[in-house]
């Protein structure tokens, strides 16, 4: 009898602790969701408010279409449409570098994986080491180098360095060395394909997933790059939107009291600028999430 009572006693106590542990964990989860989720939600709502409403109203109230339109026009009228130019620049730099990256990386990864040449191994080791270095580490040395050849201020000064993307070569290399049956390539050769045709007609179509993956990662990194364009492009006309944000910040009286004047920017307009500056990347993150996560966790995609 006593043992039975004892046992129910413990299991009751166990389930009680179980419940309180669950309760605590639930609260912890909730806090984490608020921490990661609220800033983005708030940012979206802030773009629809007036400066007054932003500081007085409930932070999670929705503003008006009128205020959103006002913020929009204030943002895009800033310095005679500078923001539009910056977004266009961002697009040119990111897409330009993306195209060059793909043209360079895909054949290189293919050659590293499936062909033999001198210094192949050395190039592979350099690729691995360089791709693990943060991309900011080489920015000043690249500036000093490009300064010698008078490229500073030219779009090429950001497009070319961004097109050096060892991680893309590595991803392609892994893909070609693990996921493409060599018999298939051999069969194509037997059928009379030249080496170049083997690449364009057989290997490339099979590699579409990895090409897309390299493209995504490269685009996201290019769009968000701040340090490189900040250093390379002295003129505000050449800024990408990420660097343009500093100019907007400098014109916001809340963060720079000396800037109050005709060209000054309100807080909600600055929030809209932040939103606009990340929109392309945010869309990529939202709509290709599964794809990106697979790339992040698989690396080699297929083993």
Partner 1 sequence: MKSNTSDGSSVGAGFLRRRSALADSPKRRMAPSAMSYAFVGPYLLFTIAFGLGPALYALYLGFTKRDGSGFAGFANFTHVMKDFRFVPAVEHVGFFVGIWLVALIILVTFFSLLVHSIGANRVRTSLRTIYYLPGALAGASSVMLWLFLLDPTASPANFLLRAMGMDSFNQVVVPSHMPVIFAIIAFWAGAGGWIVIMYGALNNISQEIMEAARIDGAGPLQLALRIQIPMIRKWITYMVIMSLAAGVQLFVEPQFLSQATQGSIPNDYSLNQLAYQYAFKQNDFHGASAISLLLLIVALSLSAIFVARGGLFDKE
| Shortest reach from residue 81's CB to partner 1, in Å | 20
* 8 alpha carbon, distance to own chain's centre: 55
Q: Which is nearer to partner 1, 119 or 208 (CB)?
A: 119
Distances (CA, A) of 153 to 54, 81, 127, 231, 237: 38, 20, 28, 9, 10
**Contact between residue 268 and residue 46 where contact means Cβ atoms under 8 Å apart:** yes
Dihedral angle, C-alpha 290, 291, 292, 298, nearest 10 °: 100
Closest CA to 268 of 42, 35, 34: 42
Smallest gap from Cβ 80 to partner 1, in A, equals 22
Residue with tokens 């892994």: 174
Q: Which is nearer to partner 1, 70 or 146 (CB)?
A: 146
CB of 177 to partner 1, least distance (A): 5
Q: How far is the CB of 57 from partner 1 (least distance, A)?
A: 11
Measured distance CA(47)–CA(68) in Å, rounded: 6
* Helices 65-77 and 267-287, packing angle to 10 deg: 100
295, 210 contact by CB (below 8 A): no
What H or E segment, with its residue span, contains residue 231?
A: helix 227-232
Residue 61 CB, shortest distance to partner 1, in Å, is 11
Please identify, using beta-carbon distances, which residue of 2 and 297 lies nearer to partner 1.
297
Listed as own residue / partner, the contacts of 252-261 with beta carbons closer than 8 Å and 24 or more positions apart are none
Query: Rounded to 5 degrees, what are φ and ψ at 155?
Result: -55, -30
Nearest to partner 1 of 34, 69 (CB atom): 34
Q: Please state the closest distance from residue 71 (CB atom) to partner 1, in A.
A: 14
Q: How far apart are CA 152 and CA 159, in angstroms?
A: 12
Minimum CB distance to partner 1 smaller for 70 or for 231: 231
Element (H, E) at 217: helix 208-224
Q: How far is the CB of 11 from partner 1 (least distance, A)?
A: 14
| Residue closer to partner 1, measured from CB, 71 or 163 | 163
Cβ at position 1, least distance to partner 1 in Å: 26
Task: Quickly tell me which residue has 């929030």 as its tokens.
Answer: 271
Pick the closer one to partner 1 by CB: 96 or 295.
Answer: 295
Q: Which is nearer to partner 1, 70 or 127 (CB)?
A: 127
């Amino acid at each position: 009898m006593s043992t039975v009572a004892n046992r129910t006693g413990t299991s009751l106590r166990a389930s009680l602790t179980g419940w309180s542990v669950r309760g605590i964990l639930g609260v912890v989860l909730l806090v984490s969701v608020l921490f990661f989720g609220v800033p983005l939600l708030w940012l979206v709502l802030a773009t629809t408010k007036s400066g007054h409403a932003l500081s007085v109203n409930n932070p999670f109230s929705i503003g008006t279409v009128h205020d959103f339109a006002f913020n929009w026009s204030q943002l895009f009228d800033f310095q005679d449409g500078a923001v539009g130019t910056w977004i266009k620049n961002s697009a040119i730099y990111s897409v330009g570098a993306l195209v060059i990256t793909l043209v360079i990386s895909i054949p290189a990864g293919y050659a590293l994986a499936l062909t033999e040449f001198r210094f192949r191994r050395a190039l592979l080791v350099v690729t691995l080491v360089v791709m693990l270095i943060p991309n900011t580490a080489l920015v000043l040395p690249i500036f000093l180098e490009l300064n010698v050849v008078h490229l500073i201020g030219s779009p090429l000064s950001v497009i070319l360095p961004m097109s050096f993307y060892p991680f893309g070569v590595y991803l392609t290399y892994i893909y070609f060395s693990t996921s493409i049956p060599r018999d298939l390539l051999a069969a194509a050769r037997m059928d009379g394909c030249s080496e170049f045709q083997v690449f364009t007609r057989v290997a490339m179509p099979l590699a579409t997933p990895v090409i897309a993956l390299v493209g995504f990662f490269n685009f996201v990194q290019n769009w968000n790059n701040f340090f490189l364009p900040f250093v390379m492009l002295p003129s505000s006309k050449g800024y990408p939107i990420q660097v343009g944000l500093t100019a907007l910040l400098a014109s916001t009286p809340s963060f720079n009291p000396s800037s109050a004047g005709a060209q000054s920017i309100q807080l909600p307009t600055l929030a809209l600028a932040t939103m606009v500056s990340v929109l392309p990347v945010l869309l990529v993150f939202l709509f290709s999430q599964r794809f990106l996560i697979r790339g992040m966790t698989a690396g080699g995609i297929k083993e």
